[in-house]
Amino acid sequence: MEISLASYNIHGCVGSDGRYARERTLEVLRELDADVIALQEVETKRGGLDLLSFLAEGTGTTALAGPTLMLAEGHFGNALLTRFPVVSVERVDLTYHGREPRAALGADLDCGGVKLRAVATHLGLGPRERRFQVRRLLRLFRTPRDWPAVLMGDLNEWLLWGRPLRWLHAYFDRSPALATFPARLPLFALDRILVHPHGGLANVTVHTSRAARTASDHLPLKAQLHFAAAQ
């Protein structure tokens, strides 16, 4: 079985040109045409519009919200869009001592009789903060060994040899470090798609359409996940 995955920090639908344009973000999501999409920096409401519902309806997916900031005018944080039935949802607080609130959003999806654990996250800017967050994040993957699992998000890890990535690679298959930030001239591999078990991840690419280069300060990542279908 093959599942298409994507991870995208949408920057609140504010593009690299400084303009807010939710339709442009939706255009990029439609171009990705992925079965499961992890989103970061999602404003659930802006100008009276439920943004997450707008994106879900526009892509024909189910939306799951994982807010990190709960504000009167609307929430802000992570989200998952999926074409598969949702079995269960789990949200884990990753906030580190006095820093900006962070979290992970996990969901078990029924992919044709096979369960997939999909987790979206956005890690912090400090090295100690990320080390704390990765240790806590790995608790979300205590699933039966035959379950495929995927971690997608903006890991904010600038050092490819840093401890957070080494800890993640002890569980997940290694994936290419592809530059996604900044969108107009990508230099840093901040966004990742990591898969368990090893050998299931293929065709990891950066989506570089004209819309993607202006819709956010990050470019989206896309990948294919292969695993045995249910008998």
Domains and CATH numbers, the chain: 2-226 (3.60.10.10)
Residue 8 phi, psi dihedral angles, 5° rounding: -150, 120
Tens-level pLDDT at each residue, the chain (231 residues): 899 999 999 999 999 999 999 999 999 999 999 999 999 999 876 655 688 999 999 999 999 999 887 776 667 899 999 999 999 999 999 999 989 999 999 999 999 888 999 999 999 999 999 999 999 999 888 755 567 899 999 999 887 777 889 999 988 988 889 999 999 999 999 999 999 887 788 889 999 999 999 999 999 999 999 877 654
| The pLDDT of residue 70 | 72
Please tell me what DSSP assigns to residue 77.
E
pTM (two decimals):
0.94
CA-wise closest residue to 8 among 197, 198, 208? 208
Helices (H) and strands (E) in the chain, counts: 5, 13
Cis peptide before 182 (omega within 30 of 0): yes
